[in-house]
């Protein structure tokens, strides 16, 4: 008697038709497409990241300048050997204002840079009586000068020349400023202190108010 197996048609002679609904027929092209899309996305992200880094470097190099503070004339806002960034172009678009912490070429020796706080504006009359700064007849509020740093001596009155600025250090008893070398012409002022980055406990934005000797890196 023949076995059942022998009466079945040989299965190897009839190829199976591909099932269009089978997972294998769908996943290969889709998987290839997904990998291609992922590569494109990575390229786009890499390109955008490099552009962002490039723009950041341009901004830092051309708009900001690192400066090292030397001396204590701007204490307590700035300390000796502190590192800060100054904005070199801000005064091309904005006026110099009272309270700004500015970096300028020392009028008596332009190989040196100083950093001080603007106290008097062009045309104003500045006078110091027993340590209190008067602009015109009004006393100037200076919360950035601690009592232990006050200089109780008198000065002036003097009128600030046109297009010049009267600058002082916050540490009044140890500051070489406009009381010594006079008002600073605006053409000597080349930046405003904007950000401290070292030491880390001083990391952060600087308010518009200060004075200390600075040395460019």
Q: Kindly name the residue from 73, 113, 178, 210 that is annotated as catalytic.
A: 73
Q: What is the H or E stretch that residue 87 is in?
A: strand 83-87
Nearest residue to 167 via CA among 148, 146, 193, 147: 193
Annotated catalytic residue: which of 22, 68, 116, 174? 116
Beta carbons of 150 and 120 less than 8 angstroms apart = no
Can 26 be counted among the known catalytic residues? no
Q: Does the annotation count 73 as an active-site position?
A: yes
The DSSP bridge pattern shows strands 64-69 and 83-87 to be antiparallel
Strand-strand pairing, 184-185 and 164-168:
antiparallel
DSSP state of 91: G
**Tokens 């051309």, residue?**
62
The b-or-e profile of 40-66 (16+ CB within 10 A means b, else e) is: eeeeeeeeeeeeeeeeeeeeeeeebbe
Q: How far apart are CA 181 and CA 76, in angstroms?
A: 23
Tally of CB atoms within 10 A around 175: 26
Catalytic residues, by residue number, are: 73, 116
């Amino acid at each position: 008697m023949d076995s059942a197996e022998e009466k079945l048609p040989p299965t190897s002679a009839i190829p199976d038709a591909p099932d269009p609904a089978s997972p294998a027929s769908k996943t290969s092209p889709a998987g290839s497409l997904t990998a291609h899309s992922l590569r494109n996305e990575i390229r786009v992200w890499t390109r955008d990241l490099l552009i962002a880094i490039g723009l950041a470097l341009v901004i830092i190099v051309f708009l900001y300048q690192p400066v090292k503070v030397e001396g204590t004339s701007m204490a307590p806002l700035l300390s000796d050997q502190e590192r800060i960034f100054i904005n070199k172009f801000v005064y091309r678009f904005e006026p110099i204002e009272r309270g700004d912490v500015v970096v300028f070429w020392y009028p008596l020796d332009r190989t040196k840079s100083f950093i001080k706080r603007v106290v008097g504006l062009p045309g104003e009359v500045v006078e110091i009586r027993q340590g209190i700064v008067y602009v015109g007849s009004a006393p100037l509020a200076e919360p950035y000068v601690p009592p232990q740093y006050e200089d109780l001596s008198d000065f002036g009155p003097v009128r600030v020349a046109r297009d010049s600025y009267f600058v002082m250090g916050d540490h009044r008893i140890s500051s070489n400023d406009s009381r010594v070398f006079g008002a600073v012409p605006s053409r000597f002022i080349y930046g405003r202190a904007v950000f401290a980055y070292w030491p880390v406990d001083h990391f952060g934005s600087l308010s518009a108010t200060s004075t200390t000797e600075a040395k460019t890196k």
